[in-house]
Amino acid sequence: MIRLGDGDASCVSPDGKWLAAFFPSTPGKLIAYPTGPGEARHFDVGSILNEGIYCSWTRDSTRFVFTGAEPGKQSRTYAVDMNTGKSRAVTPEGTSEPLISTDGHFVLARNMEGFALYPVEGGSPQLVRGISSDELPIQWDTSGNQLYVWNGRFPARVRLIDPRTGTGKTWLETMPPDPAGLLYANLFLTPDGKSYAYRYRRVLSTLYLTEGLH
C-alpha cells in the first residue's frame, strides 16, 4: 500500500496514471496525484466547492469533469484540462452527476427534467432518451455510443442503452448473497462490460427482550 496524499479520492484516470482528489472543507482546492513516479498537479478552481463524490474522465485521460458550485449559485459541471491546468464551466446551473463522453465532446448530466447531453464547446443540449427516473448512468461502453445505467439499488438491474434513441437491453441483474440491512450501494464496471464490482453499506441491529424488570 502506498500513500498518495491528502484529500477525498474521487476517480482514477483510464490510463491509471492519475487520481483526482478534492478537499470538501477547502473550496477551490483540487489535486491530481500520480499513481507512479512524478509530481502532484495542483489546480486552482477559484471559489468552486466540489459537490459530487465522483468525477469522470475522457478515455484519453486528458480531461475530467466534476460537479461544483460557486458561492450563492446552483451546481453545474466543470471541466479540468490536464495539459493546460485550466478549468471552466461546461453545463448550465442546476445540473449534476456528469459523465463525459469518451471523446470529450459532450457531457451527460442530470437536470430538472432528467438527463441531457451538453456540448463541451457550447451549443444546445440534446435530449437523452431511455433513462428512467430511478436509473443512474455509470459508464460509456467501448464504442462511446451506448450507456450502462442501473437502478441504484439491490437487486441491481443494469441496462445498456442508446441515449439518443432510447433503445436498450438488460445487461446484468445481481445482488449480494445476504441482502439483510442493505442501505445503499455503488456499482462500477469496465467499458467492455467484462468486469464489474459493487460496494454497499450494511447496518444490522439486534433486538433484545428483557424480563423481570421492576
Q: What does CATH list as the number for 1-127?
A: 2.120.10.30
Q: What is the mean pLDDT of residues 137-165?
A: 90
- Do residues 134 and 121 touch, judged by C-beta distance below 8 A? no
Is the previous residue joined to 176 through a cis bond, with omega within 30 degrees of 0? no
pLDDT of residue 209: 84
pTM: 0.84
Tabulate helix, strand, coil % of the chain (nearest 5).
0, 45, 55
Coil vs helix vs strand at 16: coil
Q: What is the mean pLDDT of residues 108-137?
A: 91
* Alpha helices, DSSP H, located in 35-190: none
Q: Where are the domains of the chain?
A: 1-127, 129-198
Q: What is the mean pLDDT of residues 86-107?
A: 93
Backbone dihedral region for residue 148 (phi beyond 0: left; psi -120 to 50: alpha; all else: beta): beta
Q: What is the mean pLDDT of residues 128-156?
A: 89
Q: Residues with Cβ < 8 Å from 118, sequence gap 6 or more?
A: 77, 90, 91, 92, 95, 106, 107, 108, 109, 125
- Do residues 43 and 33 touch, judged by C-beta distance below 8 A? no
Task: Work out the number of other CB atoms within 10 angstroms of the CB of residue 90.
Answer: 22
pLDDT of residue 28: 81
pLDDT band at 1 (very low <50, low <70, confident <90, very high): low
pLDDT band at 95 (very low <50, low <70, confident <90, very high): very high
